[in-house]
Amino acid sequence: MNIKVFSSLVLVLFDSTANSATPALVPKKNIATKQALSIRGGAGPLDPALTAKVFLGACGTQGAYDYLAPNKSFELYGVKADEMSTVCTGVGGGLLLGWVVTAYGILFADMAPLKAIGVGLLPLIVGNLRTILNGDAKAIGCSIPGQVINLAVCAFTAYACLSDQADANTVVKVFAAYVGLANTQCRLAPNDALKTWGIEESKQSRVAIFTTKIMGHHGFQYSTFMWALANDIDAYKALGYSLIYSFLSFVMFVASGDFGELGFDIRLAYPWIVSVFAAAITFAF
């Protein structure tokens, strides 16, 4: 999706005056508000709050399109989907939506981080269940027991977060590591990742391999954000750190020639790359 590069705005400085440090994932009523007001980033000319709203809105739109119409979304970039890539794109859309919902919930909806993480997992859970029940996962050769295990892990994590379980912070750390490891494989070794799902290499299409890398891109970004939040890092900085990875991943896509091999219109990726870089610098530093 082609989006406009953010306009330069006046730098707004926020004074953090909290009397004591509060753990980022302690489910207290005012924790989300304190985090939202405690902006430690703001490097460059962009207002962090406005930048977050615009950027998360753009990412949410793309994520929703990937999630709801995975067979159509990559046509915007000149790439024709197949059955396997459609499933991968749908999962990637769920991961991107989870990242957006979690960030927006903490920063602008006055949600405690635990609650936001739990709510953010709902699209992923629904999408996972959908591919099991409608037969899409089985049709492309996925291991159904593996899909059920993944569904259970996601559901358990969401329950721990939404019900304020005492060990929810630890659960999030473990889940972030699980998502991070799985999506590192998707991003860097997509053939092996698909084989882990139960899909034979001979059945893996080029477009499915590419969309598996995209899924890994979104998934590791999401896991980085959750891990940072679970380790008491301010929400804006956590968002920025996840986008530093995203920017580097985009650079890898361009340098490796992945976009060109499938006829991906690289010109449509440049606004995303510039926007990710601007947002990362604004939030992280």
Report pLDDT digits (tens) over 46-102.
899 999 999 999 999 999 999 999 999 998 888 899 999 999 999 999 999 999 999
What single DSSP character describes residue 125? H
User: Does the structure show a pLDDT above 60 at 34?
Assistant: no
Of the pLDDT bands very low, low, confident and very high (cuts 50, 70, 90), residue 267 is confident
- Alpha helices, DSSP H, located in the chain: 31-37, 48-68, 83-108, 113-120, 122-133, 136-139, 144-162, 168-188, 190-196, 206-230, 235-256, 258-261, 270-284
pLDDT recorded at residue 259: 85
pLDDT recorded at residue 45: 81
Q: Domain locations in the chain?
A: 55-284
- Sort residue 232 into left (φ over 0), alpha (ψ -120 to 50) or beta: left
State the average pLDDT for the chain. 87
Rounded Cα gap, residues 54 and 67, in angstroms: 20
**Region 21-33: what's the mean pLDDT?**
40
Query: 149 Cβ partners below 8 Å, 6+ apart?
Result: none
pLDDT recorded at residue 24: 39
Rounded Cα gap, residues 87 and 128, in angstroms: 10
What single DSSP character describes residue 5? P
What single DSSP character describes residue 44? S
pLDDT recorded at residue 51: 97
Looking at the chain, the whole-number percentage of residues with pLDDT higher than 90 is 75
pLDDT recorded at residue 42: 60
Looking at the chain, the whole-number percentage of residues with pLDDT higher than 70 is 85
User: Does the structure show a pLDDT above 90 at 149?
Assistant: yes
CA distances from 160 to 68, 101, 115, 167 (A): 27, 17, 9, 8
The two structure tokens encoding residue 179: 């998502």
Rounded Cα gap, residues 17 and 207, in angstroms: 51
Rounded Cα gap, residues 242 and 150, in angstroms: 23
Dihedrals phi, psi of 235, to nearest 5 degrees: -60, -40
The amino acid occupying position 49 is A
Mapping DSSP onto H, E and C, the string for 225-282 reads: HHHHHHCCCCHHHHHHHHHHHHHHHHHHHHHHCHHHHCCCCHHHCHHHHHHHHHHHHH
Residue 157: alpha-carbon gap to chain centroid: 16
The two structure tokens encoding residue 64: 């929703």
The answer to whether 230 and 242 are in contact (CB under 8 A) is no
The two structure tokens encoding residue 76: 């915007």
Report pLDDT digits (tens) over 192-247.
999 999 999 888 999 999 999 999 999 999 999 999 999 999 999 999 999 999 99
The two structure tokens encoding residue 118: 């739990």
State the maximum Cα–Cα separation within the chain, in Å, rounded to a whole number: 60
pTM of the model: 0.84
pLDDT recorded at residue 272: 94
pLDDT recorded at residue 253: 93
**Region 126-148: what's the mean pLDDT?**
96
pLDDT recorded at residue 184: 97
Rounded Cα gap, residues 80 and 264, in angstroms: 10
